Amino acid sequence: MSALQPVRGTHDILPDEMRRHRRVVETARDLAERYGYLEMSTPIFEFTEVFRRPLGETSDVVSKEMYSFADRGGEEITLRPEATAAVVRAFLSAGLTHDLPCKFFSHGPMFRYDRPQKGRQRQFHQINVELLGVADPLGDIEMIALGTDILAALGVLGRTQLEINTLGDLDSRHAYRDVLIAYFSDHRDKLSAESVDRLARNPLRILDSKDPGDRKVVAGAPSLSEHLNQASRDFFAAVTEGLDILGIAYRQNPRLVRGLDYYTHSIFEITTEDLGAQATVLGGGRYDGLVELLGGPPTPGVGWAAGIERLAMLMTETPPAPRPIAMVPLGAAAEGKALSIVQALRRAGLAVDLGFSGNLKKRMRRANKVGARAAIILGDDELAGNTATVRDLDSGEQELVSLDALSEHLVRFR
């Protein structure tokens, strides 16, 4: 049995589910292109360094969730756990640092060795947008606007909430981090074991701990907003102002901190209450230091990723499967003729389903099962007059059509 089971945390996507995924990707691509973001894609694996450096050695992703291995040539390889670092690497590889701004849309599978749960898989899929070379808050605003537009187009925006926060620029962030470490170190004995661990790895994360004891300590902690320098405050004010102008609803959440080291200034998450513990549907932020971390020139960036599975779960409707026209030949002579007619119709742009065997009844049943809109019945009677019977499977009406006019006649069923 185990060999017939997919690997833990991976899932096959069968046609019904695939159409939902496709709807997500196509909707996102469509809107991204309208915003000027062009589709590209990167390999699903990279040298491990591409992820290790920018995400931070102490991040959860790097410390325990990466699928890493040495390939046959001894190279340290990692299945990508996220898109941003890989896209930035591609941006640098292609030498696009003087061709700014760069606006990319991409989508594809990501891999994280997590414990699976509803809405959390080891291989999952993301849509992703990145904007490189724009230091202005307008970049953050456009990014968020694109995200909410996509959710709206998918019909799920109403069940989500946008939360934003700022980490400030690198100076502010580092200064605050030091203050936090000092504060939490003083209260170390009151922290949960997990938070003591966070103190060493990622002190900011203590701020959104759910542990009641931690919360008391956090309540007295110095706040990030007090440690922002003026430039950082102005930047964030400009972002929220832009969202206000666009009428995008958001909630400022001072305790929102994201796990990856490379974020600066705005960070945001779109969450839902309909997916259990996996509340985040879309997450991202500004990463002005990332390009440098990967060896490029100082280049600002903003981006986000959204989970395709999670968005698909929020969608209330499954896009319908395409409805073909069924070819139903009767008898050996008709079958031969049907083959060439089917091919001609397909070349003319029609979706045609050819039943492979069975009598009229069986083939009609199959036609119904595949959701055919119409059936072409081709028997000896029809062949004799160089015609075919075309039956509208929704109305039940049928008529005799000349084979010469068949393609034209069938266009109505496209």
Partner RNA sequence: GUGGCUGUAGCUCAGUUGGUUAGAGCACCGGUUUGUGGUACCGGGGGUCGGGGGUUCAAGUCCCCUCAGCCACCCCA
Applying CB under 7 A, the residues found at the interface with RNA are: 1-2, 5, 8-9, 59-61, 65, 82, 112, 114-121, 124, 126, 194, 198, 205, 209-211, 258-260, 269, 271, 276-283, 305-307, 309-310, 330, 358-362, 364-365, 367-369, 375, 377, 379-382, 389, 391, 393-394, 396, 398
Rounded to the nearest whole angstrom, what is the least distance from the CB of residue 101 to RNA in the complex? Answer: 22
Rounded to the nearest whole angstrom, what is the least distance from the CB of residue 18 to RNA in the complex? Answer: 17
Rounded to the nearest whole angstrom, what is the least distance from the CB of residue 274 to RNA in the complex? Answer: 11
Rounded to the nearest whole angstrom, what is the least distance from the CB of residue 191 to RNA in the complex? Answer: 12
Q: Toward RNA, which CB reaches closer, 23 or 198?
A: 198
Q: Toward RNA, which CB reaches closer, 209 or 232?
A: 209
- Secondary structure of the chain as H, E, C letters: CHHHCCCCCCCCCCHHHHHHHHHHHHHHHHHHHHCCCEECCCCCEEEHHHHHHHHCCCCHHHHHHCEEEECCCCCEEEECCCCHHHHHHHHHHCCCCCCCCEEEEEEEEEECCCCCECCECCEEEEEEEEEECCCCHHHHHHHHHHHHHHHHHCCCHHHEEEEEEECCCHHHHHHHHHHHHHHHHHCHHHCCHHHHHHHHHCHHHHHHCCCHHHHHHHHCCCCHHHHCCHHHHHHHHHHHHHHHHHCCCCEECCCCCCCCCCCEEEEEEEEECCCCCCCEEEEEEECCCHHHHCCCCCCCEEEEEEEHHHHHHHCCCCCCCCCCEEEEECCHHHHHHHHHHHHHHHHCCCCEEECCCCCHHHHHHHHHHCCCCEEEEECHHHHHCCEEEEEECCCCCEEEEEHHHHHHHHHHHC
Q: Toward RNA, which CB reaches closer, 141 or 275?
A: 275
Q: CB–CB of 167/267 below 8 Å?
A: yes
Q: Toward RNA, which CB reaches closer, 251 or 362?
A: 362
Q: Toward RNA, which CB reaches closer, 340 or 357?
A: 357
Q: Toward RNA, which CB reaches closer, 157 or 282?
A: 282
Give the residue from 275, 235, 279 showing the smallest Cα distance to 256.
279
User: Which tokens in the block code for residue 51?
Assistant: 């992820």
Rounded to the nearest whole angstrom, what is the least distance from the CB of residue 250 to RNA in the complex? Answer: 16
Residue with tokens 């440098």: 292
Q: Toward RNA, which CB reaches closer, 347 or 361?
A: 361
Rounded to the nearest whole angstrom, what is the least distance from the CB of residue 373 to RNA in the complex? Answer: 9
Q: Toward RNA, which CB reaches closer, 96 or 360?
A: 360
Rounded to the nearest whole angstrom, what is the least distance from the CB of residue 169 to RNA in the complex? Answer: 20
Angle at 233 between CA 229 and CA 239, to 5 degrees: 150
Rounded to the nearest whole angstrom, what is the least distance from the CB of residue 359 to RNA in the complex? Answer: 6
Q: CB–CB of 150/31 below 8 Å?
A: yes
Rounded to the nearest whole angstrom, what is the least distance from the CB of residue 240 to RNA in the complex? Answer: 21
Q: Toward RNA, which CB reaches closer, 100 or 279?
A: 279
